[in-house]
Amino acid sequence: MRTVEEHQAVVNALLPAMPEETVPLAEAHGRVLARDVVAQVPLPGFDNSAMDGYAGRWAELAGPDGGPVRLPVAEDIPAGRSDVVALAPGTVHRIMTGAPLPPGADVVVPVELTDGGTDVVEIRDRPPVGSHLRGAGEDIAAGTVALSAGAPLGAAQLGLAAAVGVTALTVRRRPRVLVLSTGSELVEPGRPLQRGQIYESNSTLLAAAVEEAGGVPRRLHFVPDDVDQFLTTVRAELASADLLVTSGGVSAGAYEVVKDAFRTLGTVEFGKVAMQPGGPQGAGTVDGVPVVTLPGNPVSSFVSFEVFVRPALRRALGHAFPDRLRAPARLSGPLRSPAGRRQFLRGRYDGGEVSQVGGPGSHLVAHLARANCLVVVPEDVTELPAGAHVDVVLIEGALQ
């Protein structure tokens, strides 16, 4: 029986890094940066004002007794003005936020500390020298790395790329993932159910999980427990895929179509992993394409994807930190766990405390939908009291 880490290593080894491609900035949201981005310009690009007010020389902005002073307003400097002239002695320039600072100025007096004059202004109070100034390159200097390879490209990262003059980014191509559920008992949602049948849900669950991880899912129509039909369906689509993920047909019973079909090829290895849910697993290649086979129960399928497939996809995309965020938490109630198995229980995490959602059963998909974390119980722990500290994997946004 494999450990969780051993099977993670097997799955990770199947998926190489995705090839690079260059996309326009507008199409890069949600992608992963493949190469460092160097700032083409400094930020700010020039000394500028952080406030609406008056640019002046600090030493001239108070009367002999330190009280108010009246000074002529020699220039108006709106944001965007490029022909800024030097500050003449004994004058101030009215200046707007973001406008270039005139040479000679060493402070900006906010308009709230003045009478707001346009020809002559009364300075009622002066802030310390250097106040309300933004220095050129204060945020980032030209020629330095603005974004590092492996960074997920969210709104802030794209905003920075645009601010330093970048129009396109080199990213990893999104992996194309085939998702296939098997089972003669499966019926497409919306059709009438006969006794012994269930609605097929795993492909919907897994396709959404693939997309959230950064891949491009393609759902194959689920197939009955027929080896020839299964292989025909799979091989018709594999050439266009980077990964095939199946659910169902990998346990130890009869009619396990995935195991029966792939065993004949000799390129997919099946076995048990010391975890619950999700013990039966498989991984290998078919026609050179990586394949990961997951159990058919919805919770087992989801947990297996989270533990094995999601981090492998994110590594292939170039994520510097491919794993889910983890947090320590206190148990709101006691729990039990089987010896020798790493337990992944569904939980609800809030304010440093976690409560178990439903039981350990791998069919309890409604409880899974209410969870926002997985409570991880080590293999050598069989019982924990209320208040005990546990490790939780945060899955908020995947299913909740």
C-alpha angle 385/387/392, rounded to 5°? Answer: 95
| Predicted model pTM | 0.85
**399: pLDDT strictly greater than 60:** no
Higher pLDDT, 194 or 175: 175
pLDDT at 191: 80
pLDDT at 86: 96
Backbone torsion region of residue 37, taken as left when φ is above 0, otherwise alpha when ψ lies between -120 and 50, otherwise beta: beta
Instruction: Flag the least confident range among 161-175, 270-284, 313-327, 359-373.
Output: 359-373
| Residues 6+ away with beta carbon under 8 Å from 221 | 233
d(CA 237, CA 66): 82
% of residues, the chain, pLDDT over 70: 94
pLDDT at 253: 55
Instruction: Please state the φ and ψ torsions of residue 359, each to the nearest 5 degrees.
Output: -95, -170
C-alpha angle 333/339/340, rounded to 5°? Answer: 130
d(CA 46, CA 390): 51
d(CA 309, CA 311): 6
213 touches 30 (CB < 8 A): no
Its sign, for the CA torsion 233, 187, 204, 255, is: negative
pLDDT at 328: 95
d(CA 400, CA 398): 7
**30: pLDDT strictly greater than 80:** yes
Spatial CA neighbour of 311 closest among 31, 21, 11: 11
How confident is the prediction for the chain on average, in pLDDT?
91
pLDDT at 222: 65
d(CA 325, CA 373): 10
**360: pLDDT strictly greater than 70:** no
Query: 3-state SS string over the chain?
Result: CECHHHHHHHHHHHCCCCCEEEEEHHHCCCCEECCCEECCCCECCCCEECCCEEEECHHHCCCCCCCCEEEEEEEEECCCCCCCCCCCCCCEEEECCCCECCCCCCEEEEHHHECCCCCEEEECCCCCCCCCEECCCCCECCCCEEECCCCECCHHHHHHHHHCCCCEEEEECCCEEEEEEECCCEECCCCCCCCCCEECCHHHHHHHHHHHHCCEEEECCCECCCHHHHHHHHHCCHHHCCEEEEECCCCCCCCCHHHHHHHCCCCEEEEEECEECCCEEEEEEECCEEEEEECCCHHHHHHHHHHHHHHHHHHHCCCCCCCCCEEEEEECCCEECCCCCEEEEEEEEECCEEEECCCCCCCCHHHHHHCCEEEEECCCCCEECCCCEEEEEECCCCCC
Higher pLDDT, 204 or 392: 392
344 touches 278 (CB < 8 A): yes
Work out the pLDDT band at 187, boundaries 50, 70, 90. Answer: confident
| Residues 6+ away with beta carbon under 8 Å from 67 | none
Radius of gyration of the chain (CA): 31
Which residue bears the tokens 């960074």?
Answer: 151
| Residues 6+ away with beta carbon under 8 Å from 63 | 69
